[in-house]
Amino acid sequence: MHSIKFLDQPPRFLFFTGKGGVGKTSVACATAIRLADAGRRVLLVSTDPASNVGQVFGIRIGNQITAILAVPGLAALEIDPQAAAQLYRDRIVGPVRGVLPDAVVKSIEEQLSGACTTEIAAFDEFTALLVDSALTADYEHIIFDTAPTGHTIRLLQLPGAWNGFLEEGKGDASCLGPLAQRSRLILVARAQQATLREVARTHEELDAIGLSQQYLVINGILPADEAAQDPLASAICAREQQALQTIPDALKRLPCDLIELKAFNLVGLPALRQLLTTAIPVTIHTEATSIAIQAPSLSILVDDIAKDGHGLIMLMGKGGVGKTTLAAAVAVELARRGLPVHLTTSDPAAHLSETLSGALAHLSVSRIDPHAETERYRQHVLTTKGAQLDAKGRALLEEDLRSPCTEEIAVFQAFSRIIREAGKQFVVMDTAPTGHTLLLLDATGAYHREVSRQMLSTTTHYLTPMMQLQDPKQTKVLLVTLAETTPVMEAVNLQADLRRAGIEPWAWVINNSVAAATVHSALLRQRASNELSEIAAVATQHAHRYALVPLLKEEPVGVERLLDLAAGNA
């Protein structure tokens, strides 16, 4: 049987972490089966908001330990992070409801609506399992699908930071210290340079707080023998090999396992048992040599955008879905039509702005450095809000400023200097903030509420930044996703988040679609077939309008390739 490094002498706790769509749940489930098949008693715990553990095993699991009868020795538990977060908010907000003004209560609720709170609430439930040893004593291994981030773990270590958690003594070093000693953290990634850079940051952040037993799994690598007779497959193989050869230094020291891309969906025991084995022959169940799919291209969406002559175009989506490239493609397509466009990006790999610089009439490009903007914002908050705090309060504020929301706010404040230009030209913004972050922005939200209050008794026309974002004639939000289960679910959650802020996404863009490309490889044809249900769900359930962008042979860098991308030329 194929030797897997992260399964070599496994400790009691195995934590899987990584971005949506990299295959965390599949690898966690396959690991649980492998250990149970070896005669171990295993508990699999998922706190993934898009958890499909039950679907993978073909049974209903939910919020109680459930035996997987088809795999002796294996049990599973799905913690619903949204429900856990709601109970958590109720515990904190309940006592002040009716005591404090409604606006203050609403503000507290929004502070507790972010991803960090959801992680903490889910982790709170999980640590209850660890503390209540009667529930978990029988299990030799506990596998945790979707580990908390370093930021969340540091919050749990801060004294007095999260009252509900700490009152019961679950969040102190006595719990987390021994846990770190008996834990192995598995970072799951794909063979893509941007994804690997992000995983390197995660590795360093978790290593800095003492979670040093880390392993790297690079999942979904296209087998080299698929490249024959298929130019697209050949190009993908070359890109993946390049990413593996230029892996960040921080990751080179980690034990690493490579898992090949499978043609089949990872649902059911036979499929999962094959995930962690060496490559085996697979029967491809598809009659057609190619899959014909008719869907709007990005340039068709740009036709509608161009009608207004100016406006703000914001691209949103989780990491790794291609927001920066699509922002550049939209900007280039608008400029090609003779419309004035300012593309502003926070992409740390500024190759797009270098490629575009001076290369196209009507297009200007600016780049914002997220690190510089975040540091400037942190220092401003520490010297103003932090000046009056004691050491404990300042420690909490400093940790709060390490939140992903902080970078979003800082970058958005830098972007907002450019937003005003959208009244007379197109401004295309890469990496826009989430609805939750927009609601936290004092500069936008508080100003909006104050102006609204003052203007109630007048007929004066006024406009605040928040109103501009909420007006579809002035701002169009494009949600970017991939034709895979988890990225689509994450985009659905992001859409709900934006709606809470009064912002309705204008369109969805499904990027890097195999179904929209021309493929000959049997494995890629099967992957294309697997995408169809996700594309249909976006087209019929989630989006008002959408576009499908094919997976490309060449990296979409430079004006010509970006125009090809917008036109849907694979």
What residues form DSSP beta bridges with 75? 43, 67
Contact 251, 213 (CB under 8 A): no
**DSSP string for 165-225:** HHHTT-SSHHHHHHHHHTEEEEEEEES-HHHHHHHHHHHHHHHHTT---EEEEEEEEPPGG
Q: Which residues are catalytic?
A: 21, 23-26, 48, 486
- Return the closest-CA partner of residue 14 out of 29, 23, 309, 22: 29
Q: Write down how long the chain is.
A: 570
* Residue reference for tokens 């003492």: 210
Task: State which amino acid sits at residue 266.
Answer: L
CA dihedral for 539, 542, 546, 552, sign (positive or negative): negative
Burial annotation 128-164 (CB, 10 A radius, 16+ → b, else e): ebbeeeeebeebebbbbbbbbbbbbbbbbbbeebbeb
What residues form DSSP beta bridges with 334? none
Contact 428, 344 (CB under 8 A): yes
Q: How far apart are CA 355 and CA 262, in angstroms?
A: 35
Q: What is the number of other CB atoms lying within 10 angstroms of the CB of residue 381?
A: 16
Contact 143, 42 (CB under 8 A): yes
